[in-house]
Structure 1
Amino acid sequence: MRHRTRVAVLGSALAVAAVGFAAPGAVAAPSGDVTVDKVVVNGGSPIVLGTTAGKTFTVSVTASDDSGIESADITLFGGGSSVALPQGSPKCVADSTTTSTCTAKFTLDPDTDFFNNSPAGTWYVDALVTANDIDTISAEKAGSFKVQRQAKLTANASPEPIKKGKTLTITGALTRANWETGKYAGYTGQSAKLEFKKKGTTAYTAVKTVKTDNKGNLKTTVKASVDGSYRWTFAGNTTTSSVKATGDAVDVR
């Protein structure tokens, strides 16, 4: 049975009581002159999750006060009213006499934390920072990041080998993680680019754009001209990661 461990689904009022923050979207007034200067999640990269393996990542909050920073509490909020709490208290390291960077580790595991796909999309960082002189700031949505369903993409060119000038068919399939079923499923109605790399070169160039069918499949044709490799690429979106298929080499004779 699927269940949650680190990520709780809470109503706004309960979430506030649990972590000490105002509901998302409310205006929080600072006490004193504490400021939140920067928030970095996972080094600036999205959190991409498949169907089973969890991901542990860091969230850092840099804050300043004339007296220096004593501590910080960090909480993450996502779609489907998801709330993620850190693994232990954030550790604050002084960058100067007035500024510190407080870092915490979080883990998201689709197999144990998510019942469905609603957590995919934009998440926010809330930070409650306390200075050495006990001034505080409750910074809501101090930062944002993406939690994405992992995408997979294949490519196959046929027939191989092929005579120059003949029609080459390139197929593929775009799938993405379904956190409700624990499996990958076809991603329908999505635009993918067909790219070609001439043999002996290193760069792919765009050939055309094709949309996936109702099962996530891709199919198009081109005229064979020279030896090289074809692949599909998907740019990704708010809920789903970008992905590039492994190129399929074609021998043109």
Structure 2
Amino acid sequence: MRIRVTVAAATGALALSALAVPAAQAAEGPGATSAARSVVADAVKTPADDSRGDTAISNVVVNGGKDIVLGTTTKKTFTVSFTVKDNSGVEWAQAILWHGPDFDHLDGGAVADSSNGRATCTKVNATTSNCKSAYTVKADVDLIDSLAGSWKVWAIAQGTDGNYVQKDNVKGFRIQRLSKLTVNASPEPVKKGKTITVTGALTRASWNSGKYLGYTGQSVKLQFKKKGASAYTTVKTVKSTSGGALKTTVKASVDGTFRYSFAGTTTTPVVSATGDYVDVK
């Protein structure tokens, strides 16, 4: 069964040119084939949660629980794993990744790398299988900037008795634009009590342009680690301006290392600059 959904085909977005849920392999018994086909057709046409019987999906994990972070040309393969239970045994399962306000208005998505889009399910016991799918994305081919942020996992699974469960959001995860952060403290060396100017820039990957562009209007912490100390402390918070530029001043007191640190957003990961050491005379 194949239901076509055209998604951002003209923009280069990570797209579902064909959002497909293959017809299930039917369990033996009268009416099983037609029941299985009905399950798949209804699931694709009606993305709201639906189920019949005791089939359950649990323990969904995307990319090992970590955000998926991509630079301008990054190619990455990651996995989605989940557990399926049905008292008759597990027949098949599939997970589809999607982005948008809801499944009816998605603007990007991905099916698994497998030829039929299904997960590979490994039997644990008579009622339980562990299922896994791999997905490959290349930033400069599959993504546009507006697709950064929160994504969701749509999933369906069917038991050998024709029971099924279908969820339009079994797990949320994030695809993010790789961030970079620089720092420069000057002058070096500096006399005690004199002014140190600390500059830098916060940038992030633009999948649209293939460049790293300034991330403006963001709160970034200036941190300092005294010579011999093991940890940084926050001195002040600075807002990034045009081009992601950062600039502030502090008074020289003791030898140590300055850095900028950014806490991240939904679309952009945490990043800290490599520290710049200042010798105070």
TM-score by length of 1: 0.90
Q: CA deviation at 1:95?
A: 3.6
Cα-to-partner distance string for 1:36-69 (whole Å, 9 max, x where unaligned): 1121001111111110011111101212122232
Structure 1 residues 152-167: aligned runs within 5 Å:
152-167=180-195
- Write the distance in 2 (CA, Å) between the matches of 1:201 and 1:68: 58
Q: CA deviation at 1:202?
A: 1.6
CA contact (8 A) 2:157 2:166 kept: yes
Give the match's secondary structure for 2:83. strand
CA contact (8 A) 2:21 2:94 kept: no
- Write the distance in 2 (CA, Å) between the matches of 1:85 and 1:95: 25
CA contact (8 A) 1:69 1:132 kept: yes
Instruction: State the match for 1:117 in structure 2.
Output: 145
- Write the distance in 1 (CA, Å) between the matches of 2:50 and 2:264: 37
Q: CA deviation at 1:15?
A: 4.1
Rg larger in structure: 2
Structure 1 residues 86-125: aligned runs within 5 Å:
86-88=112-114, 89-114=118-143, 116-125=144-153
- How many residues align? The count is 246
CA contact (8 A) 1:161 1:250 kept: yes
Instruction: State the match for 1:34 in structure 2.
Output: 55
Give the match's secondary structure for 2:225. strand
Q: 2:191 is aligned with what amino acid?
A: K
- Write the distance in 2 (CA, Å) between the matches of 1:217 and 1:22: 47
- Write the distance in 2 (CA, Å) between the matches of 1:132 and 1:204: 57
- Write the distance in 2 (CA, Å) between the matches of 1:62 and 1:226: 56
- Write the distance in 2 (CA, Å) between the matches of 1:154 and 1:132: 56
Q: 2:167 aligns with which of 128, 133, 139?
A: 139
Q: 1:83 aligns with which of 92, 109, 112?
A: 109
Cα-to-partner distance string for 1:84-115 (whole Å, 9 max, x where unaligned): 0111132112344322221111011111112x
- Write the distance in 2 (CA, Å) between the matches of 1:125 and 1:78: 9
Cα-to-partner distance string for 1:69-89 (whole Å, 9 max, x where unaligned): 232111100246111011113
Flag the 1:52–1:189 CA change in 2: closer, same or farther, 3 A. Answer: same
5+ unaligned residues in a row in structure 2: which ranges?
1-9, 23-39, 101-105
5+ unaligned residues in a row in structure 1: which ranges?
none
